[in-house]
């Protein structure tokens, strides 16, 4: 854990390589009437897995990503990330856990538009307190890993969609997270760039990085080693590792 986590009773629970687990996770939005976006969701992700979560629009995929990513808390049920039970953590500790252990990739890339590729990726290490030269050195390596060593100094707005998503993948990886969560990472890409991002995710997973990739595209999700189908906030099927 990072030094920003407060000391105390909170400690990771050892569990045979489990990076993420959800047990009986329910999420109800307090609208009128309330919306139950997730209901009794149970699954665990082991180190090194590449899991596709697939479901139609409104099935609860983004809600699930927010809960797995510690951006939101469930109404009921238990979530662990890197062995930490999220219910035991304050919002401040949750934010430290998120920075240290979770990488995010979003459909809309979420890059800082006025910044270069290098600084967008180096930004992913701000929480570490490393100096800028160290952060940029690691960012350079992460960008090389996604095939963008020739684009280090390009401002984000000058990059193509496919290149922007590669920068986002590099930013997700630069801090060596325990898990990378991607929400519709190919949703804004044409089919060629979409295939390229899926190939990149497979290649990086081949190096041992754990991924959960959320998509409404069955073809993409079902080509991954494990697929979880979501419908109306519940798990419809879980293929297990094929």
Whether a cis peptide bond, with omega within 30° of 0, leads into 121 is: no
Question: Is residue 108 near ligand ADP by the rule CB under 6 A?
Answer: no
Which residue is listed with tokens 């801090």?
A: 175
Cα gap 17→196, rounded to integer Å: 29
Of residues 1, 10, 18, 35, which one binds ligand ADP by CB under 6 A?
A: 35
Near ligand ADP by CB under 6 A, which window of 60-68, 77-85, 103-111, 170-178?
60-68
Question: Is residue 130 near ligand ADP by the rule CB under 6 A?
Answer: no
Supply the angle between the helices 191-206 and 161-173 in degrees, to the nearest 10. Answer: 20
Of residues 26, 46, 62, 217, which one binds ligand ADP by CB under 6 A?
A: 62
CB 20 within 8 A of CB 102: no
Question: Is residue 210 near ligand ADP by the rule CB under 6 A?
Answer: no
Q: Which residue is nearest to Mg ion (CB)?
A: 62
Residues paired with residue 215 on neighbouring β-strands, in sequence order: 54
Mind giving me the DSSP string for 82-116? TTEEGGGS-HHHHHHHHHHHEEEEETT----TTSB
Question: Is residue 61 near ligand ADP by the rule CB under 6 A?
Answer: yes
Of residues 29, 150, 203, 236, which one binds ligand ADP by CB under 6 A?
A: 29
- Residues between 132 and 191 with contacts to ligand ADP, criterion CB under 6 A: none
Cα gap 94→78, rounded to integer Å: 14
Q: Which does 74 bind (CB under 5 to 8 A by kind): ligand ADP, Mg ion, none?
A: none
Binding site for ligand ADP (CB under 6 A): 29, 31, 35, 37, 55, 57-63
């Amino acid at each position: 854990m990072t030094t920003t986590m407060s000391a105390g009773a909170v400690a990771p629970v050892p569990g045979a390589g489990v990076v993420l687990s959800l047990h009986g996770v329910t999420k109800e939005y307090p609208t009128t009437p309330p919306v139950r976006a997730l209901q009794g969701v149970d699954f665990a992700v082991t180190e090194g897995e590449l899991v596709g979560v697939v479901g139609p629009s409104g099935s609860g995929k983004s809600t699930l990503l927010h809960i797995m990513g510690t951006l939101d808390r469930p109404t009921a049920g238990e979530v662990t990330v890197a062995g930490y039970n999220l219910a035991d953590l304050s919002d401040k500790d949750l934010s430290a856990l998120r920075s240290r252990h979770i990488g995010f990739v979003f459909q809309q890339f979420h890059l800082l538009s006025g910044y270069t590729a290098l600084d967008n990726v180096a930004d992913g290490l701000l929480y570490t307190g490393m100096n800028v030269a160290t952060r940029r050195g690691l960012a350079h390596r992460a960008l090389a890993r996604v095939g963008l060593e020739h684009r280090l100094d390009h401002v984000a707005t000058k990059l193509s969609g496919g290149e922007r998503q590669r920068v986002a993948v590099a930013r997700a990886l630069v801090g060596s997270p325990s898990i990378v969560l991607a929400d519709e990472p190919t949703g804004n890409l044409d089919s060629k760039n979409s295939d390229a991002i899926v190939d990149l995710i497979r290649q990086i997973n081949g190096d041992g990085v754990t991924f959960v990739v959320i998509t409404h595209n069955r073809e993409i999700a079902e080509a991954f080693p494990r697929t979880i189908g979501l419908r109306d906030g519940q798990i419809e099927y879980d293929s297990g590792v094929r």
